[in-house]
Amino acid sequence: MPKALLLENIHPFAAQSLRDHGFDVVTMKGALGEDELIEALDGVDLLGVRSKTMVTRRVIDARPTLSAVGCFCIGTNQVDLEYAGRRGIAVFNAPYSNTRSVVELVICDIICLMRRIPAHTHHLKHGLWDKSASGSHEVRGKTLGIIGYGNIGSQLSVLAEALGMRVVFYDIEEKLALGNARRAASLNELLEQSDAVTLHVDGRKSNTGFFGEEQFGHMKQGAIFINCSRGFVADLGALKQHLESGHLSGAAVDVWPVEPKKSGDPFVTSLADEDNMVLTPHIGGSTLEAQEAIGHFVAQRLEDYWFRGSTSLSVNLPQMTVGACGAAARIAHLHENLPGVLADVNNVLGDRNINILAQSLGTQGELGYVVTDVSEKPDAEALEALRSLKGTIRMRVIG
């Protein structure tokens, strides 16, 4: 029976789906450190994580029989993707399933900060009745600056316009503007005209600390700042200075440079004493609807990979969509992208009079992946010959 380990309180649907497909599933609520993860992965075929468990080179080297990792979230920066691919480990994520949840939180933050809801709540909690319109604004007619116009940024753009906001966005890649959104020629142009600035950039290393003192300094007087993307992209010390000076009127932070590994752990931030501040514990995608959708989506990708060899929507292997195996066996061969590997695979099978019923090949960068349906299951000698082919990274037989 294949074994799956699901960490970080992944939605129960995922565990049940894997069990229904014959997996022995172990679930854990919290994240694991490197040493703990290596120990827990003994005998495990599929690993499921969210954002806190780091799948490093050391982990991969220690457990080379691991077949796939499912990131039950949008980001995949917690996994060394390139190294996992070179060791034959497929990685899947859920790039769309919690998009709406994140967008709704950002819209909520914008309205709350524009109306100074956190400040008014704080005053009432401390016995102060402060019924005043001072500093409170409608979002209608205000300009929203979106940094990163991907799945989340573009959907946020549509909802913000529905509220009557003007939208300007900045992205390092060419993106189609939706609705009446306008692309800014530079980041500074966006910052200088936006009443609200929100970050939606990915987890690549080059984004570390990219939004700091210089960028905060270019923001419009009285603007608000929101980060629901990655904790390491914004300098929170610089943010605090601009809040205390009165340059910025409020901020919302959902992601943090260092986060506790599990719910209930202590957490301290210097932003806690700011007046008009929304602080949330990385809950942008944490709605029941989103977590169920993510559980369904990623579990399906893992199941398709294990039982069919399908790498559709993998983030680190060549893309291959294959249906159910109707042949005697299916050979999934991941290899270095070298000339002649496909011919070598076919020669091994042909020399043993094994008929090929269907075959698909895909390449991506330095990797190649060939899926071959055959009329009979190869014997041990044939399988060893396939494993011994030059450039072979991982070979497995399905069916």
Q: For the domain that residue 392 is a member of, what is the CATH number?
A: 3.30.70.260
Active site residue: 50, 120, 230, 301, which one?
A: 230
Residues 306 and 184 in one domain: no
Cα 346–chain centre separation: 37
> In which band, very low, low, confident or very high, does the pLDDT at 80 lie, cut at 50, 70 and 90?
very high
Active site residue 21: no
For 55-60, which contacts have Cβ atoms below 8 Å and span 24 or more sequence positions?
Answer: 55/79, 55/80, 55/84, 56/80, 57/83, 58/34, 59/34, 60/84, 60/87, 60/89
Encoded amino acid at 46, one letter? L
Surface-to-core class of residue 20, CB atoms within 10 Å of its CB (0-12 exposed, 13-18 middle, 19+ buried): exposed
Residues 364 and 337 in one domain: yes
Residues 113 and 167 in one domain: yes
Which H or E run includes 61?
helix 57-62
Residue 164, domain extent: 99-279
Active site residue: 34, 259, 366, 376, which one?
A: 259
Q: What is the pLDDT of residues 330-357, one digit of tens each?
A: 999 999 999 999 999 999 999 999 999 9
Q: 288-308 vs 99-114: helix axis angle to the nearest 10?
A: 160
Q: What is the pLDDT of residues 365-390, one digit of tens each?
A: 999 999 999 999 999 999 999 999 99
Active site residue 335: no
Residues 16 and 75 in one domain: yes
Residues 143 and 227 in one domain: yes
Half-sphere exposure of 234 (CA within 13 A, CB side): 25
Active site residue 122: no
Q: Is 159 helix (H, G, I), strand (E, B) or coil?
A: helix
Reply yes or no on whether the pLDDT at 45 is more than 90: yes
Residues 293 and 379 in one domain: no
Residues 24 and 173 in one domain: no
Q: What is the pLDDT of residues 271-293, one digit of tens each?
A: 999 999 999 999 999 999 999 99
Q: How many domains does the chain have?
A: 3
Residues 127 and 233 in one domain: yes
Beta-bridged to residue 234, according to DSSP, are 211
Residues 40 and 103 in one domain: no
Active site residue: 63, 282, 330, 335, which one?
A: 282
CATH number of the domain to which 230 belongs: 3.40.50.720
What is the Cα–Cα distance from 314 to 78, expressed in whole angstroms?
A: 15
Domain end residue (candidates: 264, 297, 317):
317
